[in-house]
Amino acid sequence: MGKRSRLVATQRETRQRLEKVSQIRTLNSLRALAFCLLMATFSERQGSGRVISWMCTYCYLSEEEAAESIAVGRRLMAKSP
């Protein structure tokens, strides 16, 4: 295999890896949004304080992170038809 062939193969592999990373990041973003929606729904049923406490204990989030997740979920719920 010549130098040019190795270069082309390396570029192809790099492009494939970058595409895979992009797909993973997209999935992670979607999972985060789904989590926010779920926590917002729970907070409407159980109360924000209780859900924040649960998130701190079981999801290892700070109170600020938990409250922000709920707020994001509520904004998403308000925008959805």
* Nearest-10 Cα torsion for 39, 43, 48, 53: -50
pLDDT score, position 80:
73
- pLDDT for 18 equals 92
- pLDDT confidence of residue 2: 80
DSSP structural state of residue 59: S
Per the structure, the count of domains in the chain is 1
Q: What pLDDT, on a 0 to 100 scale, did the predictor assign at position 79?
A: 86
pLDDT tens profile 7-22: 888 899 999 999 999 9
- Exposed/middle/buried for residue 51 (C-beta within 10 Å: 0-12, 13-18, 19+): buried
Which pLDDT belongs to residue 5?
A: 85
Low-confidence ranges of the chain (pLDDT < 70): 1
Q: Which structural domain, as residue segments, surrounds residue 51?
A: 3-79
